[in-house]
Structure 1
Amino acid sequence: MLGVALIDLLAEPELAFLPLLTLGPTFASVSGSVRRTALVGAVALAICVPLAYNNGSLLKWQNNLTIVTIIGITVASMMASHLRLRRERELASVRLVAEAAQRVLLRPVPRRAGDLRVALSYTSAAAEAQIGGDLYEVVTTPHGVRLLIGDVQGNGLAAVETAAWVLGAFREAAYDEPDLADIGERLEVSLARHLDGEQFVTAIVAEVHDGEISLVNFGHPAPLLIRPDGEITTVDLPEHGLPLGLGALGTGAVKAHRTPFGSGDRLLFFTDGVIEARNSVGAFYPLADRARLLGREEPQAALDALRADLVAHVGGPLLDDAAMLLLHRQDA
């Protein structure tokens, strides 16, 4: 508004710049309160009157129209500011609910479980929520340390209900069932009662033993194994099950597969939102090549560096939920 006033003073009297004073209350409504917007409108009127007097147009119809316009724009901007503030309060409430839901559904994983150090990274594709269709859990049971990572078909809050069913069933079965394949059966039975149509959940259920780890894969991307010497391999299992929810189409139960997991090894579990993330030219994120970032001493710092690299590769918000779970077996 000061710029408009200065231009009006320097310009010819017949040039009308005073209507531009309406920009003041208009922009004030974008970030200011209702009271501040009204104050900016009053300042615009206070500037308009002396400038109109200086131009000799104080009582002319053009200036009267400008004053009415400033008043009208100020009132409209006050209403817009009120609606914006109400929307911000509603959004803040939604975020609080989302955070509470995240604490209940996706509880913080333990940073240490037995001789394991655990790191987690989770990024939701829903801009207004911190939870989505990816799920994870790490529990210490009488049978050992067991974990789950999965990906519900779809993303955002619409997938949260399905994720809740999977997590609830796993937390019960992980303590009750002595065999990993039986945990998968429990998850399948639970989902069969709640999923509709062709919905499904890809998942990996794992159990850590002395010097090895057992895994059952239900159509989920295979994890990466990082050896202490920097060698990176994909843990491809000889047998994969169908995604959870599609078990009726399969031929039978899937057996657990054991793979060496010794001192100093790191195992990265992830969802397809990581490897399917594309940059501006459509190239997928090269996770196997970037996994060298996981060589840092502190597992969480290593995983944070990998997540930052993923976000930099995409160059903007992710289009799908992305979860990563890193296990580090400490040196004896």
Structure 2
Amino acid sequence: MRVRQGRPRPGRSWQLSHGLVAIPLALIVAVTVLDISTPTSIHLGPFLVAAPAITASFAGARLTGAVGALAVAAQILIGQLHGGLTTANHQAQVAALLVLSVLVTIFRYVRDRHARQLVQVRSVAAAAQQVLLWPLPRRIGRLRIECAYISAEEEAEIGGDLYAAAPVPGGVRLVIGDVRGKGLAAIGEASALVGAFRGAAYRHLPLAGMMAHLGNSVYWNLAHAPEEDPESFVTALMLDVPDSDPFLRMVNCGHPPPLLLRDDRVLPLEVADPAIPLGLNTPSPSEYEVETFPFASDDVLLLYTDGVMETRNRDGVFYPLADRLASWNDRDPASLVRRLHDDLLRYADGNLGDDAAMIAITRFPDAEEPGAGRPAPEQPDAEQPATGTSAGRPSPPPRRPAP
């Protein structure tokens, strides 16, 4: 599920602008009638310049130019009725009004052209990101998954948040990450990582081997980029959730730790030895330590990007994610993601400084599992996704999350 901050519909904006045009038209009529009704020593014609200026605040260049032309025509009419346009005063008023109306119309035209270009760039970037972020299925194996994506939509820049999931023999593998930077360059780097994940999801690589594969893909993609940023990198977190075992295995490369919701507690799953972000070197599987954490059937796990934590309110205070989750009693993934999404937008008054992605996962009970009772496919010896091995080393027993 993708969630974006809405924009006003073009049709509604068109109707609004054509309804407001009555204001400058009424101003032209009022100034003309009052100027004609007053003695010739009183000049109200200069107030006509307000008509095109007001129109430019809500309408396009054509309507602004039309209102400006009407204002100039009204000024000419006033001059004719007050003794003709032969006087220097009336000629100066007409010339000044004409010049100002043209300038206001040109300004509105330039602004409209810039807005059209910005909408086009946003559309291309949004389409690229929509291709990148496929909606996650709500069910994979024994996992129920709910996700949301909130775009900051700051000018044409959108972030490089990413996520993907794939079934593996005996479980489910998920990845979530965040590319440093914004815009199309960040989308390209995120696309390289997601493409590498999808392409290798069925190669039966161990968890550490898969992360090393992604790290090398990101590194070489950045190395061959036309405009390489020496500080570009990707924070990423990957985990395997076995179908039949009450725990999960995780590798963290500088990404915010997931939060485990158990009863009324919120427990961060922090690894003892996090790896460096992807893209900074060409890693080998031995560089990644696979750590194991309990994950029971009634637990809910929340994965998120730093856009959630770095959301600020008007006072500049960061969003208290853990406190918010602890105060909510609902542990249904769909309700949790929806509530978190709405609360983030309220906290930031609808203006997030960065894109934010969030994924809530939980296990289906055996009775609700699609195809329950069927044996899981046999796991090839080369894969070992449910044993948590890394570079031939057995993983430690499940760790207890920090209280």
TM over 0.5: yes
Shift of 1:268: 0.6
Q: 2:341 aligns with which of 302, 307, 318?
A: 307
Contact 1:125-1:155 within 8 A present in 2 as well? no
Aligned partners of 1:176 and 1:294: how far apart in 2? 40
- Tell me whether 25-34 or 142-151 shows the greater mean CA deviation: 25-34
* CA shift in 2, pair 1:280/1:249, >3 Å: farther
Shift of 1:50: 4.3
Q: 1:223 aligns with which of 228, 239, 258?
A: 258
Percent identical among aligned pairs is 38
Q: 1:168 aligns with which of 174, 183, 195?
A: 195
Shift of 1:234: 1.0
Q: 1:135 aligns with which of 133, 158, 162?
A: 162
For 1:207, the equivalent position in structure 2 comes to 240
For 1:238, the equivalent position in structure 2 comes to 272
Give the total of aligned pairs: 331
**1:297-327 Cα shifts (integer Å, max 9, x gaps):** 6533421321222233233532333221111
Contact 2:240-2:249 within 8 A present in 1 as well? yes
* CA shift in 2, pair 1:207/1:131, >3 Å: farther
**1:17-60 Cα shifts (integer Å, max 9, x gaps):** 32221222233234434432232123213433444456667543
**1:228-250 Cα shifts (integer Å, max 9, x gaps):** x3321111223322211234699
Aligned partners of 1:13 and 1:301: how far apart in 2? 71
Is the counterpart of residue 115 in structure 1 residue 148 in structure 2?
no
Contact 2:51-2:68 within 8 A present in 1 as well? yes
For 1:264, the equivalent position in structure 2 comes to 298
For structure 2, which runs of at least 5 residues remain unmatched after alignment?
A: 1-23, 223-227, 367-403
* CA shift in 2, pair 1:158/1:295, >3 Å: farther
Aligned partners of 1:136 and 1:77: how far apart in 2? 47
For 1:41, the equivalent position in structure 2 comes to 68
Q: 2:173 aligns with which of 127, 132, 146?
A: 146
For 1:326, the equivalent position in structure 2 comes to 360
Contact 2:174-2:240 within 8 A present in 1 as well? yes
Contact 1:294-1:306 within 8 A present in 2 as well? no
The amino acid of 2:75's aligned partner reads C
SS at match of 1:110: coil
TM-score norm. by structure 2 comes to 0.72
Aligned partners of 2:162 and 2:345: how far apart in 1? 20
The amino acid of 2:175's aligned partner reads L
The equivalences for 1:41-190 within 5 A come to 41-52=68-79, 59-129=86-156, 131-142=158-169, 144-190=171-217
The amino acid of 2:187's aligned partner reads V
SS at match of 1:80: helix
Contact 2:212-2:283 within 8 A present in 1 as well? no
* CA shift in 2, pair 1:300/1:318, >3 Å: same
Aligned partners of 1:33 and 1:131: how far apart in 2? 27
Aligned partners of 2:60 and 2:297: how far apart in 1? 59
Aligned partners of 1:305 and 1:111: how far apart in 2? 17
Is the counterpart of residue 17 in structure 1 residue 52 in structure 2?
no
Shift of 1:127: 1.6
Contact 2:28-2:71 within 8 A present in 1 as well? no
Contact 1:143-1:175 within 8 A present in 2 as well? no
* CA shift in 2, pair 1:25/1:132, >3 Å: same
**1:251-285 Cα shifts (integer Å, max 9, x gaps):** 94223222222223211111222212333333221
Aligned partners of 2:179 and 2:334: how far apart in 1? 25
SS at match of 1:280: coil
The amino acid of 1:329's aligned partner reads R
Shift of 1:286: 0.8
- Tell me whether 235-244 or 6-15 shows the greater mean CA deviation: 6-15
RMSD: 2.9
The amino acid of 2:192's aligned partner reads W
Contact 2:125-2:183 within 8 A present in 1 as well? no
Shift of 1:70: 2.6
Contact 2:128-2:187 within 8 A present in 1 as well? no
For structure 1, which runs of at least 5 residues remain unmatched after alignment?
A: none
Contact 1:126-1:155 within 8 A present in 2 as well? no
- Tell me whether 10-19 or 196-205 shows the greater mean CA deviation: 10-19
SS at match of 2:239: strand
